Amino acid sequence: MNATDLSTELQDLAKALGLIDPQNGQFDWNWFADPLSSIKKVFSNQGQRDAFNELFECTHRPTSIDGIPSDESWHPLLANQPRGNVYLTIREDGANVTFGVAGEFHSATSPDASLRAHLPLFLSDGTNVSAVAGAANGPLQVGLRVDLNLSGAIQLQPSMSNSS
């Protein structure tokens, strides 16, 4: 059996798992002797990580969401949900890829409100994997947006208070 006989998705899956060598595209028959040693490298081996990303892009198309950076994609993990979803987030910065989780929830009534949370989980540089959740490069971000349907300008006045 030749690896090129497989569909693109199956090739990406086999590469992500280490069954097909991502560099030469050939089956690694030694994989069957110790599959876990290859599988655990899915994020620390750049070829396997890239194959995982390509497979995930095919099976979970990213959703266009206002306010997320252009180098980040949010992939819905649940079926189409009218009031929000849970997402796997992927942020690519050269060889560094940060994987995270996010959620967004929208109200069903007026006023329109939404709650969004995002937590980067780990960073893969193609060789190593490091946890970033809660660190300076992986802060929990939470946002609340409420559309009050106000019209006109809102004037804010500076206030000086004297504390004695």
Please name the amino acid found at residue 70. S
**Other beta carbons within 10 Å of 11:** 20
Residue of 147 and 78 predicted with greater confidence: 78
With 70 as the cut, is the pLDDT of residue 126 above it? yes
Domain ranges of the chain: 1-59, 64-146
Mean pLDDT confidence for 54-58: 90
Mean pLDDT confidence for 50-58: 91
**Other beta carbons within 10 Å of 35:** 13
Could you tell me the pLDDT band of residue 101, with boundaries at 50, 70 and 90? very high
**pLDDT for 112:** 85
Which segment of 2-11, 82-91, 98-107 scores lowest on mean pLDDT? 2-11
**pLDDT for 1:** 63
**Other beta carbons within 10 Å of 69:** 8
Q: Percent of the chain, pLDDT > 70?
A: 97
pTM: 0.79
Mean residue pLDDT of the chain comes to: 89
Mean pLDDT confidence for 159-163: 69
**pLDDT for 164:** 55
Mean pLDDT confidence for 75-83: 90
- Sign of the CA dihedral with 6 first, then 8, 14, and 20 last: positive
Mean pLDDT confidence for 117-135: 94
In terms of Cα–Cα distance, which of 154, 119, 125, 158 is closest to 140?
A: 119
